[in-house]
Amino acid sequence: MTSHLDSRQTLRRQLRQARRSLSPDQQLNAAKALLSCFKEQFSNPQIVDARRIALYLANDGEISPHLLCEYFWQQNIQTYLPVIQGKQLTFALYSTDTVWQENVYGINEPITTNYLSGNELDIVLLPLVGFDSEGGRLGMGGGFYDRTFANKRTDEAPLLIGLAHDCQHVNSLPVEGWDVPLQAILTPTHVISV
């Protein structure tokens, strides 16, 4: 019998392989289409009023939010990046002045003394490995985003929006009790509102 854990590991491997095999051209086109999709779908007040948005530095074939980031900077919206602290995430301002250090996974994090906790953000754009239409999210397996937002109610800030390539969609994810559901998933071609 295959346990949930085994099927999550197998899925994770396949989906990471799929996103890593996208060419640099496909990645850039996906990032451009993601920005168009974002602008079309999210002109609602929750986005327009957002002052602090967390995103991430693309790694391992993840869809890149860098064009969204430029757009937010044009709108004078402050952007934040996740910083690993123990088993959770805190968030550090990302600006043109940011100074960097690598975390244990080789991903850059801003060096700062001024961290925000998850609930001080308006929107968090989450990286993911796989997603389903119910807002299920499969991540890299560290449980960092799950722990950080474990006690968040869906009607409380921040709004959790997953960013993904279309090839990361699966019919149904083997969900675990600790998985924090996403409120929307944005791809280059779709928005799924949960």
Ligand X SMILES: Nc1nc2c(c(=O)[nH]1)N(C=O)[C@@H](CNc1ccc(C(=O)N[C@@H](CCC(=O)O)C(=O)O)cc1)CN2
Ligand Y SMILES: Nc1ncnc2c1ncn2[C@@H]1O[C@H](COP(=O)(O)OP(=O)(O)OP(=O)(O)O)[C@@H](O)[C@H]1O
Which residues contribute to the site for ligand Y (CB under 6 A)? Answer: 138-147, 150, 176, 178-179
Site residues, ligand X (CB under 6 A): 56-60, 62, 82, 84, 105, 107, 127, 139-140, 142, 144-145
- Dihedral, CA atoms, 186, 134, 82, 21, nearest 10 degrees? -60
Structure tokens at 29: 């086109």
The one of ligand Y, ligand X, none whose footprint includes residue 62, by CB under 5 to 8 A per kind, is ligand X
Q: What 3-state class would DSSP assign to 29?
A: helix
Q: Per the omega criterion (within 30 degrees of 0), is the bond before 174 cis? A: no
Nearer to ligand X, 139 or 188 (CB): 139
The one of ligand Y, ligand X, none whose footprint includes residue 146, by CB under 5 to 8 A per kind, is ligand Y
Nearer to ligand X, 124 or 159 (CB): 124
- What is the rounded distance in angstroms from the CA atom of residue 136 to the CA atom of residue 7? 15
Task: Name the minimum Å distance from CB 146 to ligand Y.
Answer: 3
- What is the rounded distance in angstroms from the CA atom of residue 55 to the CA atom of residue 132? 20
Nearer to ligand Y, 71 or 144 (CB): 144
Q: Which residues pair with 169 in a beta bridge?
A: 131
